[in-house]
């Protein structure tokens, strides 16, 4: 069972014991053990996490204190490893022998890598248009790649159809994945001296990053470890800006929009399953949605590379939104770098 | 001046104050500040280093305690960032405005990225045959890529010719680079509870990794921080095994061999400038040279990927040598993963 009879996604009622004394623990995402809903003996791990939080030192960042969270340095080259580590640990705990997933590429690679580490068979449904490097990476881990013609949603539909017979390791539907991505919040909090940043800009498609950040900081605030929430800003591309319109026009779901191509393929999602949650999360932090055009993303991508940051264009979406930051948004501004530039080089 | 009048490379007479109390320092390679010959205010850095040291959990590693040092997780996707961080910090300290480098690809990408971070103009000479992903990566950082026809040595010759007029940021000739790669030794030592591993297997071409490991452990032993040296095993491919023959046949330099193609392009070096040093380093630790064929590297590469380790084939060279490990070589065995699998996907 991966979906509520109401049609919506499940969440966990898990309440973490917040970790107070982190001294002597390894510098991985597992240092927040009390906040992670899997038993230590079932961890599926490459000792990942605690990625650096580093000043951007880029022209576009000159006026503000901008820190980049280097989540492109995870083993498979994207922040999705956070979620996959927790999701596969949970699958391992359940004794799962085979699973499937749908992805535009990064989550598929992450789930395939951790499935390989756990010795669990894996099928991944990707849009036929996903980058060759991403498809090759998933196949290298020994997973079976199903390239589905049509938009991103067609791959999701194909996976859901197949999910009747096997474990659906969906990074969107499975709540353990979000409990993995939330570790970014714990790390940022610790790296800033046990404080939330003023503002976080997150590229947003299915929202697994933004929801993870929201969940993590919410737990830290609820546990008395953090004084306040950061302002969460979700950044979308014009090509897939349904959440931004939902927010601006007070809609109950993303409006129907035609499929449009974008260089930011990681967030080319038109019907995110957790749409209502995402809008609510942004609203609850007094945040907002920002939209950038293709013509903004390319220069931001090149500027990042020429400052030494080798990222995939999806990561540049948040950088492209920097000129839209108003003075009321507090510093420091944290921008997670979601995927490695090498993922894009192949195209 | 980048070369001794005798024709050989320079080394530094720098003697580190060994760090004893590392508590509270950031988990980057800069935590060993006293061992690094650059002033803190000139650091050129992405907060890199302290990569995980993780059990391999692979069939080929079943009989031994094999730990993988995940140096493929550096910002540009290879361990060369260690050297580039130190080399560019040194160049920044000197006030260098432009520099050049020659590389089969990984060192070029590393130097180009750190040059971009420092705002220093950069020219990189690569063999025309270097992988498209590596060339694209160097160009993305804003460096000028010179693709030189012929074997790896032709690119080196072209760079040396151009080095008369500008700063030669060579990862082979410049000793600061080796003082960067030595940080792998400090990290392994600390991660093993302030001990050397029994054995280290290093893919070896120009030897910057092996010489860095040797220098780092030598400093730790000289400083009284480590009881003994690890046994250093240099692994070469048949296609470029001059050092192995030099060692086995007691030659003064690598024998002339015809250029042969190899999947392990990162170590396709036939005339390493530091050949004598490399052989001496291996000998002084009672180590040896191992040679693997192309037919050994491919299965080792695929086995690694199917266990979840996404590495470039050059990294698989050391894994391919595992069956040649004799029982006299002490555990734990550390194998540095030198480059990311995404670098290879594009080909």
pLDDT band at B347 (very low <50, low <70, confident <90, very high): very low
**Residue B182 vs residue B17, higher pLDDT:** B182
How many other C-beta atoms can be found within 10 angstroms of the C-beta atom of residue A56? Answer: 21
Each residue's pLDDT tens digit, A120-137: 999 999 989 887 888 999
Tell me the percentage of chain A whose pLDDT exceeds 70. Answer: 98
Phi then psi for B178, rounded to 5 degrees?
A: -65, -35
Check B75 against A77: CB less than 8 A apart: no
Check A141 against B305: CB less than 8 A apart: yes
Check A141 against B310: CB less than 8 A apart: yes
Check B342 against A46: CB less than 8 A apart: no
Chain B residues with CB within 8 Å of chain A CB: 27-28, 45-48, 50, 52-54, 57, 70, 73-77, 113-114, 116-117, 132-133, 136-137, 140-142, 302, 305-310, 340-343, 345-346
For A345, which of B46, B70, B346 is closest by C-beta distance? B346
Cα–Cα distance for residue pair B69/B237, rounded to 1 Å:
21
**Partners of residue B130 in chain A, C-beta under 8 Å:** none
Q: Is A127 helix (H, G, I), strand (E, B) or coil?
A: strand
**Partners of residue A48 in chain B, C-beta under 8 Å:** 52
Q: Which of B214, B178, B213 is nearest to B90 (CA)?
A: B178
Cα–Cα distance for residue pair A5/A3, rounded to 1 Å:
6
Among A171-175, A261-265, B108-112, whose mean pLDDT is lowest? A261-265
Check A306 against B116: CB less than 8 A apart: yes
**Residue A45 vs residue A270, higher pLDDT:** A45
**Partners of residue B74 in chain A, C-beta under 8 Å:** 73
pLDDT band at B286 (very low <50, low <70, confident <90, very high): very high
Residue A82 near residue A181 (C-beta atoms within 8 A) = yes
Check A75 against B73: CB less than 8 A apart: yes
Among A13-27, A45-59, A96-110, A317-331, whose mean pLDDT is lowest? A13-27
Cα–Cα distance for residue pair B329/B155, rounded to 1 Å:
37
Q: Taking residues A167-179, report their average pLDDT.
A: 94
For B52, which of A28, A57, A305 is closest by C-beta distance? A28
List the single residue in A with minimal CA-CA distance to B57.
A117
Residue A335 distance to chain B (closest CA, Å): 15
Q: Which of B180, B193, B196, B7 is nearest to B78 (CA)?
A: B180
Q: Taking residues B293-304, report their average pLDDT.
A: 96
Each residue's pLDDT tens digit, A20-62: 689 889 999 999 999 999 999 999 999 999 999 999 999 877 7
The neighbouring-strand residues paired with B101 are B124
Mean pLDDT of chain A: 93
**Partners of residue A54 in chain B, C-beta under 8 Å:** 45-47
**Residue B235 vs residue A342, higher pLDDT:** B235
Structure token pair of residue B214: 């040797």
Mean pLDDT of chain B: 93
Kindly report whether the peptide bond that precedes residue B117 is cis, defined as omega within 30 degrees of 0. Answer: no
Decide: residue A95, CB within 10 A, 0-12 exposed, 13-18 middle, 19+ buried: exposed
Sequence-distant (6+) residues with CB within 8 A of A86 are A36, A37, A38, A176, A177, A179, A180
Q: Taking residues A6-32, report their average pLDDT.
A: 86
How many other C-beta atoms can be found within 10 angstroms of the C-beta atom of residue B18? Answer: 16
Each residue's pLDDT tens digit, B198-248: 999 999 999 999 999 999 999 999 999 999 999 999 999 999 999 999 999
**Partners of residue B137 in chain A, C-beta under 8 Å:** 310, 341-342, 345
Q: Which of A156, A113, A154, A168 is nearest to A137 (CA)?
A: A113
pLDDT computed for residue A287 by the predictor: 98
pLDDT computed for residue A18 by the predictor: 67
Check A310 against B75: CB less than 8 A apart: yes
Residue A261 near residue A286 (C-beta atoms within 8 A) = no
Each residue's pLDDT tens digit, B79-98: 999 999 999 999 999 999 99
Query: CA A46 from chain center: how many Å?
Result: 18
For A52, which of B47, B70, B136 is closest by C-beta distance? B47
Decide if pLDDT at A347 tops 60: no
Residue A287 near residue A335 (C-beta atoms within 8 A) = no
List the single residue in B with minimal CA-CA distance to A72.
B75
For B117, which of A70, A77, A307 is closest by C-beta distance? A307
Per-residue DSSP letter, A311 = B
Check A137 against B52: CB less than 8 A apart: no
Tell me the percentage of chain A whose pLDDT exceeds 90. Answer: 79
Q: Taking residues A96-117, report their average pLDDT.
A: 95
Q: Taking residues B258-277, report their average pLDDT.
A: 87
Q: CA dist A45 to A139, B149, B332, B343, Å?
A: 20, 43, 20, 23
pLDDT computed for residue A88 by the predictor: 98
Tell me the percentage of chain B whose pLDDT exceeds 90. Answer: 79
Q: Which of A285, A190, A287 is nearest to A228 (CA)?
A: A285
């Amino acid at each position: 069972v991966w979906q509520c009879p109401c049609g919506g996604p499940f969440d966990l009622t898990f309440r973490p014991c917040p970790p107070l004394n982190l001294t002597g623990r390894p510098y991985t995402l597992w240092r927040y053990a009390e906040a992670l809903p899997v038993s230590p003996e079932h961890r599926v791990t490459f000792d990942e996490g605690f990625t650096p939080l580093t000043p951007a030192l880029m022209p576009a960042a000159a006026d503000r204190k901008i820190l980049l969270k280097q989540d492109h340095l995870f083993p498979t080259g994207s922040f999705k490893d956070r979620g996959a580590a927790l999701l596969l640990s949970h699958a391992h705990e359940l004794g799962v022998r085979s699973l499937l997933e749908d992805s535009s590429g990064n989550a598929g690679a992450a789930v395939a890598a951790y499935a390989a580490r756990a010795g669990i068979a894996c099928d991944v449904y990707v849009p036929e248009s996903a980058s060759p490097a991403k498809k090759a990476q998933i196949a290298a881990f020994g997973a079976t790649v199903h390239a589905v013609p049509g938009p991103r949603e067609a791959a999701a539909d194909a996976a859901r159809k197949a999910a009747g017979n096997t474990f659906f390791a969906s990074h969107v539907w499975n709540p353990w994945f979000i409990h993995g991505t939330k570790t970014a919040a714990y790390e940022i909090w610790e790296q800033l001296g046990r404080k939330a940043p003023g503002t976080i800009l997150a590229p947003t498609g299915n929202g697994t990053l933004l929801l993870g950040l929201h969940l993590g900081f919410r737990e830290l605030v609820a546990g008395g470890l953090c004084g306040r929430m950061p302002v969460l800003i979700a950044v979308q591309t014009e090509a897939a800006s349904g959440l931004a319109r939902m927010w601006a026009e007070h809609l109950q779901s993303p409006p129907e929009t035609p499929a449009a191509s974008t260089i930011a393929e990681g967030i080319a999602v038109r019907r995110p399953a957790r749409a209502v949650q995402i809008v609510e999360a942004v609203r609850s932090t007094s945040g907002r949605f920002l939209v950038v055009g293709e013509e903004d993303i390319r220069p931001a991508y090149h500027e990042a590379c020429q400052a030494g940051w080798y990222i995939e264009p999806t990561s540049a979406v948040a950088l492209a939104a920097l000129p839209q930051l108003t003075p009321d948004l507090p510093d420091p501004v944290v921008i997670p770098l979601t995927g490695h530039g090498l993922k894009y080089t192949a195209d």
